[in-house]
Every structure is written in structure tokens, then in C-alpha cells.
Amino acid sequence: MDLDLRKLRYFVAVADKLHFGRAADELHIAQPVLSRQIRALEQDLGTPLFTRDSHGVALTDAGRQLQADAGPLLASAQAARHRVTAAARGSRRLVVGFRAGIPVTPAVHRFATRHPDVLVDVQRIDWDDQTPMLLDGRIDIGYVRRPINETGLRVVPLYTEPRVVVLPAGHRLAGKEEVTEADLAGEPLIWPADPSTQPTSRPHPNAGYVVRGVDETLEHVAAGRGISFLARSATVFYSHPEISYVPIPDLAPEQVCLAVAASRNSPVVDDFFTAAQEAAETTAECGNYEMWQRGGEAAAKQG
């Protein structure tokens, strides 16, 4: 039997809340209706998805597996709607997401020579937007930075780039030519992702702040609450009078990749992948990427 997407959305709401009443309120339906739909889904799948007792609601093993699979399934359905709507308007449009500091224009120019009839739109994305926006179709292709949740995605490495440490302007190491990991030992870290994704070989204590995006990170660092790390090219986009960027050569470089939903099969998308890979290779061979970075760093210092 085919999986009913409406029932799947109801299941996700209950799985997220672990409470039928609150899930029903979120879905704007009556709780008895929600309970019936969940029971019907369990019958369709032939297994219980929740345990219900005096202690509350909990997911079964089957329920946890469905919760893991449900996100990409629902996002893929939403992405299909986006593409059908665009096709109905008669438009040929490709939306390319990119993290700050990643140059997109060289690939766009190459792609445009092969597909002059396709409008390429670009949209900046933050670290926590990368996977969701690709899966639900808000962007077709993403220039992403690892680490990223790659579930449901096809991810192709493009190049690596050095990182810098982000320090408060008054920090003892601010303004140095470069620093090492050992110099920073014990410094609290402002980090937007899971602490396990820290790029250092020696873990830093978590400064205890939940941040989304570079802007929030810089404000916390400027206030002296911790340090952080950025890809060197991202410093082109973010200057701050109370921040100092210092190279840290012994830190593992950041990897820039191109990503697309694994379910997305399109010759146009494949051609953009090819254009992006060619652009990355040409830029690396010519050394223009390093020149572009150095020019950006000078501009950032002046800012």
C-alpha cells in the first residue's frame, strides 16, 4: 500500500511533540481525528509506531525509523510541488544557494553559455539552512560547507580553503601574523553546529550560546564570550570593528561542496554541476581564488 503523505505529516507532528493533544492543536484538527489517522497509518504499515501508557507517548523502534525517513520524504514532495508550479508558469529557473564567501558567479557564467534560456537565481544560506532548503526545493543546488547532514543529498567536493580564528579585538592574540591550536587551548568556543563538528584536533569547551549564522557568532565573540572559526573567504563578507581575524595554518581546512537532493534527476542540474566543477578547477589553476581572498581580506581589515 502507498504511504499517505497526509498521515505521514500527522505522524511527524506527534513524533515531534510526543503528545497527541499538542500535535492536534498544531495541525488544527481534533485530537480524536488525529488518533484515528495515526491508528490507520499503523494499520497500513502493519506495526505500532507509538507506545501509549500512563507515562505518556513514546516512539517504538519502527516509529523512530519512520521519523528518520519522514523528513526527506515530505521535503521531496514539497520540492516536487515547487517544480510543478514553476513548470506551470512556463519558467525555466534554477535557484543556487551559497554560503558566504563562496564565489558563484564563475559557474553561473559558464552555465549561462550553455543554457541562455534558464534564469539562474542565487540565494545566500546559513549553515542550518543547507539541507532543509535543498530537500524541500527552495533551492535547487547548494554551495555548502561541511559538516552538513548529507541524508537525502548528493554531495560532491569542490575544493578546500584555509580557516581563520575569530577573536575579540582586545584578545591577547589579536593582530598576530598567525596562531596555532596550542595557542588557543582552553578557549571557550562559539560554534553554531553540533559540538562534535568542531574543526580542531583538541576540543574546546562550549561557551554555552546557541547561535544561528555568522552575524550572531561575531556579536558574541566581540563581547568577549569566546572564540570561533571561519573559512578565510567568509571574512570578505563580515567585517566588525571589535573582531580580529588571525590565520591558523595548523587547523584542518574547510571543505566546500556542491549539493543537490538525491532524488533530483535533471540534465540542467547536472550541467550546472559540470560548470561549477570546471570553474573551481580553472580558478585553482590560475591562482585567482587566492588573489580574490587576499583582496577580500584587505578590504575586511579596512572595514
Query: Could you tell me the CA-to-CA distances from 218 to 189, 192, 209, 211, 301 in Å, in that order?
Result: 12, 11, 12, 10, 15
Same domain, 52 and 110: no
Identify whether the C-beta of residue 233 lies closer than 8 Å to the C-beta of residue 101: yes
Number of domains in the chain: 3
Q: CA–CA separation, 185 vs 188, rounded Å? A: 9
Q: CA–CA separation, 49 vs 13, rounded Å? A: 13
Residue 81 lies in a domain: no
End-to-end CA distance of the chain: 61
Residue 261 lies in a domain: yes
Query: Could you tell me the CA-to-CA distances from 4 to 10, 40, 67, 94 in Å, in that order?
Result: 10, 10, 14, 29
Same domain, 186 and 169: yes
> What pLDDT score does 148 carry?
86
- Domain, as residue range, for 132: 92-159+254-302
Whole-prediction pTM: 0.64
- pLDDT tens figures, 165-193: 999 999 999 999 999 999 999 999 998 76
> What pLDDT score does 282 carry?
79
Query: Could you tell me the CA-to-CA distances from 40 to 11, 26, 45, 59, 96 in Å, in that order?
Result: 11, 20, 9, 16, 40
Same domain, 64 and 167: no
CB atoms within 10 A of CB 150: 15
Same domain, 28 and 167: no
Residue 82 lies in a domain: no
Same domain, 10 and 69: yes
> What pLDDT score does 295 carry?
42
Identify whether the C-beta of residue 187 lies closer than 8 Å to the C-beta of residue 227: yes
The series of mean pLDDT values per 10 residues for the chain, 303 residues long, is 82 91 90 90 91 87 89 76 61 86 92 92 87 89 90 92 94 95 93 75 85 88 95 87 94 92 88 93 58 42 39
Identify the domain boundary among 200, 222, 247: 247
Identify whether the C-beta of residue 16 lies closer than 8 Å to the C-beta of residue 9: no
Q: CA–CA separation, 145 vs 31, rounded Å? A: 42
112: buried, middle or exposed (CB in 10 Å: 19+, 13-18, 0-12)? middle
Identify the domain boundary among 211, 232, 247: 247
Q: CA–CA separation, 260 vs 140, rounded Å? A: 6
Same domain, 243 and 167: yes
Cβ-based neighbours of 246, under 8 Å, separated by 6 or more:
164, 165, 167, 173, 174, 175, 176, 177, 178, 179
Give me the CATH number covering residue 235. 3.40.190.10
Cβ-based neighbours of 10, under 8 Å, separated by 6 or more:
23, 27, 29, 34, 37, 38, 41
> What pLDDT score does 85 carry?
65
Same domain, 142 and 187: no
Q: CA–CA separation, 288 vs 103, rounded Å? A: 11
Residue 78 lies in a domain: no
Identify whether the C-beta of residue 283 lies closer than 8 Å to the C-beta of residue 275: no
Cβ-based neighbours of 263, under 8 Å, separated by 6 or more:
72, 76, 79, 152
Q: CA–CA separation, 146 vs 126, rounded Å? A: 12
Same domain, 151 and 168: no
CB atoms within 10 A of CB 185: 10
